[in-house]
Chains A and B, each alone.
Chain A
Amino acid sequence: MNILTLFVVIPVLTVAGILFTKDLKQSRLVSAIGMTAQLILSAILVYLYVTERQAGNMAPMLFTFDALWFPALNIHYAVGVDGISVAMIALTGVVVFAGIFASWKMEFLSREFFISLILLATGVFGFFISLDLFTMFLFYEIAVIPMYLLIGIWGSGPKEYSAMKLTLMLMGGSALLMVGILGIYFYSVPTGGQLTFNVLEIAKHKIPIEMQRFLFPFTFVGFGILGALFPFHTWSPDGHASAPTAVSMLHAGVLMKLGGYGAFRVAIFLMPEAAHEQAWIFIILTSISVVYGAFGAIFQKDLKYINAYSSVSHCGLVLFAVLMMNQTAFTGAVIQMISHGLMTALFFALIGMIYGRTHTRMINEMGGLMKVIPFLGVVYVIAGLASLGLPGFSGFVAEMTVFFGAYEHVDLFHRVATIVAVSSIVITAVYILRVVGTLLMGPITDKHFLHLEDANWYERLSTITLVIGITFIGMAPLWLSDMIHFSLAPIIAKLATIQLPGM
Chain B
Amino acid sequence: MSLSDLLTMRNELLLTFLAMILLTIDLNLNHAKKSWMIPISIGLFLVVTLVGFIPQADQTLFGGMYHTNGLIQLMKNILNIGAFIILLQSASWLKTPANANKISEYFFLLVTTLIGMNFMISSGDFLMLYLGLELATIPIAALAAFTHFNTKSSEAGIKLLLSSALSSGILLYGISMIYGTCGSIYFDAIGAAYANVPLQVLAFIFFFTGMAFKISLVPFHLWTADVYEGAPINVTSYLSVISKGAAAFILIIVMFTVFKTLAPLYKNMIYLIAVLTMTVGNLFAMRQKNMKRFLAFSSIAQAGFILLGILGTNKMGMTSVVYFVLVYIFSNLGAFGVVSAISAKTGKEYMDDYDGLYLTNPKLSLLMMLSMFSLAGIPPVAGFFGKMFLFTSAASGGYYWLVFIAVLNATISLYYYLLVVKAMFINKNEQPIAFFHSDGYTKVGLMLCALGIFVLGFWSQVYEFINGLTFGI
Contacts and interface: CB of A to CB of B under 8 A. Distances in A.
Interface of A: 69-73, 75, 134, 138-139, 141-142, 145, 148-149, 152-153, 159-160, 164, 167-168, 171-172, 174-176, 178-179, 182-183, 185-186, 214, 218
14 contacts: A72-B464, A75-B460, A142-B380, A148-B418, A167-B414, A167-B418, A172-B408, A175-B404, A175-B407, A175-B408, A178-B388, A178-B391, A178-B404, A182-B391
Given A73-B392, A141-B384, A179 B418 contact: no
A69 B460 contact: yes
A186 B392 CA distance: 9
A141 to B, nearest CB: 5
A160 B422 contact: yes
Given A175-B407, A185-B392, A138 B384 contact: yes
A167 B388 CA distance: 19
B171 to A, nearest CB: 34
Given A148-B421, A153-B425, 8 more contacts: A141-B379, A172-B408, A174-B411, A175-B410, A178-B388, A178-B391, A179-B404, A185-B395
A172 B409 CA distance: 9
A70 B460 contact: yes
A179 B407 contact: yes
B50 interface: no
Interface in B367-414: 373, 378-380, 384, 388-389, 391-392, 395-396, 398, 400, 403-404, 407-408, 410-411, 414
A159 B398 CA distance: 40
B467 interface: yes
A149 B427 CA distance: 12
A75 B379 CA distance: 16
A72 B467 contact: yes
A178 B421 contact: no
Contacts of B396: 186
B418 A172 contact: no
Nearest to A173: B411
Contact of B379 (A138, A160, A175, A182): A138
Contacts of A139: 379
Contact of A152 (B316, B378, B426): B426
Contacts of A148: 418, 421
Contacts of A141: 378-379, 384
> Of residues B379, B395, B421, B460, which shows the largest number of chain A Cβ atoms within 10 Å of its Cβ?
B379
Given A72-B467, A153-B425, A182-B392, A168 B415 contact: yes
A395 B244 CA distance: 58
> Of residues B392, B398, B463, which shows the largest number of chain A Cβ atoms within 10 Å of its Cβ?
B392
Interface string B411-436: 10011001001100110000000000
Nearest to B378: A145
A188 to B, nearest CB: 12
Contacts of A186: 395-396, 398
Interface string B39-80: 000000000000000000000000000000000000000000
B15 to A, nearest CB: 32
A134 B389 CA distance: 11
B302 interface: no
5 nearest interchain CB pairs?
A175-B407, A182-B395, A171-B411, A72-B467, A152-B426
A70 B464 contact: yes
The secondary-structure label for the interface of chain B is: helix
A152 B407 contact: no
A214 B400 CA distance: 10
Contact of A164 (B389, B391, B410, B418): B418
A283 B111 CA distance: 63
> Of residues A145, A159, A171, which shows the largest number of chain B Cβ atoms within 10 Å of its Cβ?
A171
Contact of B389 (A69, A73, A145, A175): A73
A21 to B, nearest CB: 15
A168 B316 contact: no
A484 to B, nearest CB: 30
Interface in B419-460: 421-422, 425-426, 460
A312 B105 CA distance: 63
A70 B415 contact: no
B438 to A, nearest CB: 21
Interface string B290-329: 0000000000000000000000000010010000000000
A212 to B, nearest CB: 13
Nearest to A183: B400
B168 to A, nearest CB: 37
A72 B392 CA distance: 12
A185 B398 CA distance: 12
Contact of B407 (A75, A149, A174, A214): A174
Contact of B463 (A72, A142, A149, A172): A72
B403 to A, nearest CB: 5
B460 A178 contact: no
A183 B373 CA distance: 25
Contact of A178 (B403, B418, B464): B403
Contacts of A182: 391-392, 395, 400, 403
Contact of B464 (A71, A145, A159, A171): A71
A145 B373 contact: yes
A260 to B, nearest CB: 22
A152 B400 contact: no
Contacts of B379: 138-139, 141-142
A167 B421 CA distance: 13
A119 B300 CA distance: 32
A175 B391 CA distance: 11
A495 to B, nearest CB: 26
A152 B408 contact: no
Contacts of B464: 70-72
Contacts of A174: 407, 411
A260 B390 CA distance: 28
Contacts of A71: 460, 464
Contacts of A164: 415, 418, 422
Given A71-B464, A72-B319, A141-B384, A179 B414 contact: no
A77 to B, nearest CB: 10
Nearest to B373: A145
A293 B421 CA distance: 32
Nearest to B392: A182
Contacts of B403: 178-179, 182
Given A69-B460, A182-B403, A183-B395, A168 B384 contact: no
Contacts of A145: 373, 378
Contact of A172 (B316, B388, B398, B411): B411
B305 to A, nearest CB: 13
Contacts of B389: 73
A38 B411 CA distance: 33
Nearest to B412: A168
A70 B460 CA distance: 6
Given A175-B410, A183-B395, A70 B425 contact: no
Contacts of B373: 145
Given A70-B464, A182-B403, A149 B425 contact: yes
A218 B384 CA distance: 20
B422 A175 contact: no
B309 to A, nearest CB: 14
Nearest to A139: B379
Nearest to A123: B379
A299 B425 CA distance: 34
B363 to A, nearest CB: 12
B287 to A, nearest CB: 16
Contacts of A172: 408, 411
A31 B403 CA distance: 39
Interface in B142-180: none
Given A142-B379, A152-B425, A179 B400 contact: yes
A168 B378 CA distance: 12
Contacts of A178: 388, 391, 403-404, 407
A72 B467 CA distance: 7
B418 to A, nearest CB: 6
Contacts of B467: 72
